[in-house]
């Protein structure tokens, strides 16, 4: 096994700098470049820098933070007509949903209308999405209700509960805006697609189960969200079920589902499902008023205060013992709302072929929640159902949010008394109808077919929410996702490469069945950066590859391993990685083998050069491609000139 490999590094002269070491750059320049790539990969201020003069740069900066300054000067009457129709359409959906979701958060129903008035105005000024329709969402409402309700009773201490909800909204807004200003939007990416599918599905299931209280006409119900507690609360009160409520709720739920089915089958009839919730509220209110159903067990909303949002700055709680509860609730709900809003905005931006800035969206969503907390609004974002209606209605700009806001304002000023007789069971039916669309079972099936680990992440989130709590489900899902990332880093894949016949191309042998090994040469690819977390594992795994190849060749009577070629197409390496290569070089040398590096990047070459590992391995054993590296090794093995290494041109000619 010995002669060719051991002697290949002794005698002769280097074949030249096949892979040059990049010139050294000042540390501050490198640090500045890395910082820009990490936090400003999209170079957001390039439009500002390009402008000449302080006034023009100021205007460009204002356009960056207030995107309405870009589209407002060129706004046309035709665009306004489209936005007017879209705004009125989403207002018909926002009003009943706002009232319903406020009840889900155990807040006064009027807060749902308040939250559909001020935040959309702020987003219209600062948001970059043309299609996002702002308002309250069911999952965030459920989170607020469950997290705050575990510490403060909304029935026994409603004033404190309301103040904490507003404070949590303030903290959520500060956290969201801070992520955008500090360019830390990548933190939200830890909520993977699989995590969101499972979490949203679990939360939707829990929300639907919670609505059994309204459908069955129960007055007392568990505050827990897990399925066991909910089922126990439902079936322990069978004697209190009201058939009137069940009949009314089932009828309206059937109506809502039918309209949704029609709109899905015929997208041009989207307005049918969009108007169905408000239609249900109107029909339910008329029915209760005419039949006096409130005297027969049908619970109604009751009095709703007329008028616009009252200021609530003085209601925010910044003192113990409840401030930490509001802070925790705000951060968790803020992340969930942010992930949903940005995902929805990007989805519709893709349909219309334009881009939205994630960090800019975080600033906009955070600002509207901060302003909302000052004006009696609770947490808002861009819900998918409302945004889908906005998109299908043909909106052109964020002006549709302004139209919706004005429609809600008109409702607050003049129409709130009309909601007095709205039955709670109708609100429950509206919530269930909306939540069924969030249970993406087709997405879960797709995850199972494509990636079993992602499916486990999805199911971990779903089961954690359904059988534990919303917080437990979120923690389980994020933990599994982070664990998977750590495993990718700590246990990177290494694969054996073979030569595709009649080419200089080397590919994975388990994928390309025609790929062949080169006698005496073992080619391995490392599929991850080499860091302290995986350096020891990679050394052991490479040695195991060598042992396995030695056993295979000895069993067949073939030439043993003389050269180990490492395809180093990895992003970077740290000092632990360079030490690992140093140790691997010495270990292989003792076994009569030579390590050869192929395709190292500029950062790796600089690290290897500064750590003297490049000198130890030898410049002549560094190649720009795997084909040239293997060709040179094969030439040395068969030329009986162990001290001579081919240059790149000769290696290419030899292989061809």
The answer as to whether 35 is a domain residue is: no
Sequence-distant (≥ 6) Cβ neighbours of residue 397 within 8 angstroms: 71, 75, 79, 83, 130
Do 473 and 554 sit in the same domain of this protein?
no
Distance (Å, whole) CA 388 – CA 131: 8
The answer as to whether 100 is a domain residue is: yes
Determine which of 212-221, 331-340, 365-374, 590-599 has the lowest per-residue pLDDT on average.
Answer: 212-221
- φ, ψ of residue 174 to 5 degrees: the values are -65, -45
| pLDDT of amino acid 6 | 37
Reading phi first (left if > 0) and then psi (alpha if -120 to 50, else beta), residue 226 is in beta
Mean pLDDT (the chain) is 85
The answer as to whether 40 is a domain residue is: no
The answer as to whether 247 is a domain residue is: yes
Final residue before a domain boundary, out of 453, 486, 519: 486
Tens-place pLDDT, residues 135-193: 999 889 988 988 898 889 898 899 999 999 999 999 999 999 999 888 877 777 777 78
8 A C-beta contact, residue 120 and residue 129: no
Distance (Å, whole) CA 241 – CA 213: 9
The answer as to whether 643 is a domain residue is: yes
Q: How many domains does the chain have?
A: 3
- Indicate if the pLDDT at residue 49 is higher than 90: no
| pLDDT of amino acid 217 | 82
- Indicate if the pLDDT at residue 401 is higher than 90: yes
The answer as to whether 191 is a domain residue is: yes
- φ, ψ of residue 598 to 5 degrees: the values are -125, 140
SS (H, E, C) 587-650: HHHHCCCEEEEECCCHHHHHHHHHCCHHHHHCHHHEECCHHHHHHHHHHHHHHCCCCCCCCHHH
Do 292 and 423 sit in the same domain of this protein?
yes
Segment 267-279 mean pLDDT = 84
Do 322 and 434 sit in the same domain of this protein?
yes
Do 328 and 423 sit in the same domain of this protein?
yes
| pLDDT of amino acid 48 | 66
Final residue before a domain boundary, out of 429, 463, 486: 486
> Interior CA angle at 530 toward 527 and 531, to 5°?
135
H helix or E strand, kind and range, residue 158: helix 158-181
Segment 408-433 mean pLDDT = 90
The answer as to whether 162 is a domain residue is: yes
Tens-place pLDDT, residues 447-493: 999 988 889 888 988 998 899 887 788 788 778 878 888 888 888 88
- Indicate if the pLDDT at residue 55 is higher than 90: no
Do 314 and 203 sit in the same domain of this protein?
yes
Do 508 and 444 sit in the same domain of this protein?
no
Q: Are strands 594-598 and 563-567 parallel, antiparallel or unpaired?
A: parallel
Confidence of residue 44 (pLDDT cuts 50, 70, 90): low
Tens-place pLDDT, residues 614-630: 888 888 888 988 888 89
% of the chain with per-residue pLDDT over 70: 92
Do 159 and 180 sit in the same domain of this protein?
yes
Do 424 and 505 sit in the same domain of this protein?
no
Q: What is the residue range of 354's domain?
A: 75-486
H helix or E strand, kind and range, residue 46: helix 46-50
Sheet containing 494-499: order of strands: 506-508, 494-499, 521-526, 563-567, 594-598, 622-623
Do 405 and 284 sit in the same domain of this protein?
yes
Residue 563's CATH number: 3.30.750.24
Final residue before a domain boundary, out of 486, 518, 537: 486
Tens-place pLDDT, residues 630-650: 988 888 887 755 444 555 445
Do 464 and 543 sit in the same domain of this protein?
no
Do 13 and 53 sit in the same domain of this protein?
no
- Indicate if the pLDDT at residue 520 is higher than 60: yes
- Map tokens 């409520």 to a residue: 245
Do 231 and 134 sit in the same domain of this protein?
yes
The answer as to whether 30 is a domain residue is: no
Confidence of residue 357 (pLDDT cuts 50, 70, 90): confident
């Amino acid at each position: 096994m010995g002669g060719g490999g051991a002697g290949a590094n002794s005698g002769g002269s280097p074949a030249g700098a096949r892979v040059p070491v990049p010139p050294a750059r000042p540390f501050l320049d490198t640090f500045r470049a890395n910082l820009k790539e990490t936090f400003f990969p999209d170079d957001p201020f390039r439009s500002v820098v390009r402008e000449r003069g302080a006034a023009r740069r100021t205007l460009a900066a204002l356009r960056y933070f207030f995107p309405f300054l870009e589209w407002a000067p060129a706004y046309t009457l035709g665009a306004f007509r489209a936005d007017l129709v879209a705004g009125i359409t989403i207002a018909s959906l926002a009003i009943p949903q706002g009232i319903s979701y406020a009840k889900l958060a155990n807040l006064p129903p009027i807060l749902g209308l308040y939250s559909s008035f001020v935040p959309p105005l702020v987003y219209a000024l600062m948001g970059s999405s043309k299609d996002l329709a702002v308002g309250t969402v069911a999952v965030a409402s459920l989170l607020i209700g469950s997290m705050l309700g575990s510490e403060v009773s909304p029935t026994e201490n409603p004033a404190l509960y309301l103040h904490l909800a507003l404070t949590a909204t303030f903290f959520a807004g500060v956290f969201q805006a801070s992520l955008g200003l500090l360019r830390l939007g990548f933190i939200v990416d830890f909520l993977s697609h699989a995590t969101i599918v499972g979490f949203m599905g679990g939360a939707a299931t829990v929300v639907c189960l919670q609505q059994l209280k309204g459908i069955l006409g129960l007055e007392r119900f568990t505050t827990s969200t897990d399925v066991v507690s909910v089922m126990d609360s439902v079936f322990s009160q069978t004697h209190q079920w009201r058939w009137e409520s069940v009949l009314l709720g089932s009828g309206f739920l059937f109506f809502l589902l039918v309209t949704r089915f029609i709109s899905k089958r015929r997208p041009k009839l989207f307005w049918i499902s969009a108007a169905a919730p408000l239609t249900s509220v109107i029909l339910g209110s008329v029915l209760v008023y005419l039949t006096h159903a409130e005297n027969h067990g049908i619970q109604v909303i009751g009095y709703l205060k007329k008028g616009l949002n009252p200021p609530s700055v003085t209601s925010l709680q910044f003192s113990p013992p409840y401030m930490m509860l509001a802070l925790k609730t705000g951060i968790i709900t803020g992340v969930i709302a942010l992930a949903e809003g940005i995902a929805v905005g990007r989805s519709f931006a893709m349909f219309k072929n334009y881009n939205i800035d994630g960090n800019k969206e975080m600033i906009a969503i955070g600002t509207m929640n901060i302003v909302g907390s000052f004006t009696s609004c609770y947490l808002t974002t861009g819900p998918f159902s409302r945004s889908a209606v906005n998109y299908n209605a043909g909106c052109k700009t964020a002006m549709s949010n302004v139209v919706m806001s004005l429609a809600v304002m008109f409702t607050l000023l003049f129409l709130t008394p009309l909601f007095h007789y709205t039955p709670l069971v109708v609100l429950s039916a509206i919530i269930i109808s909306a939540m069924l669309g969030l249970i993406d079972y087709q997405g879960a099936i797709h995850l199972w077919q494509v990636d079993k680990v992602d499916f486990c992440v999805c199911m971990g989130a779903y089961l954690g929410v359904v059988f534990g709590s919303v917080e437990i489900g979120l923690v389980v899902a994020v933990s599994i996702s982070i664990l998977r990332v750590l495993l990718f880093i700590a246990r990177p894949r290494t694969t054996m490469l073979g030569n595709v016949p009649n080419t200089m191309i080397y590919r994975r042998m388990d994928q390309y069945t025609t790929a062949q090994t080169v006698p005496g040469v073992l080619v391995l690819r490392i599929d991850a950066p080499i860091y302290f977390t995986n350096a020891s594992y990679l050394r052991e795994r490479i040695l195991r590859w060598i042992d396995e190849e030695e056993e295979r060749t000895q069993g067949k009577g073939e030439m043993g391993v003389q050269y180990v070629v490492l395809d180093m197409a990895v992003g970077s390496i740290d000092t632990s990685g360079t030490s690992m290569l140093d140790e691997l070089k010495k270990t292989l040398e003792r076994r009569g083998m030579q390590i050869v590096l192929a395709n190292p990047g500029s950062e790796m070459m600089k690290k290897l050069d500064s750590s003297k590992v490049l000198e130890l391995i030898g410049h002549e054993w560094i190649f720009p491609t795997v084909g040239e590296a293997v060709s040179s090794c094969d030439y040395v093995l068969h030329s009986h000139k162990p001290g001579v290494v081919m240059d790149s041109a000769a290696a290419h000619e030899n292989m061809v």
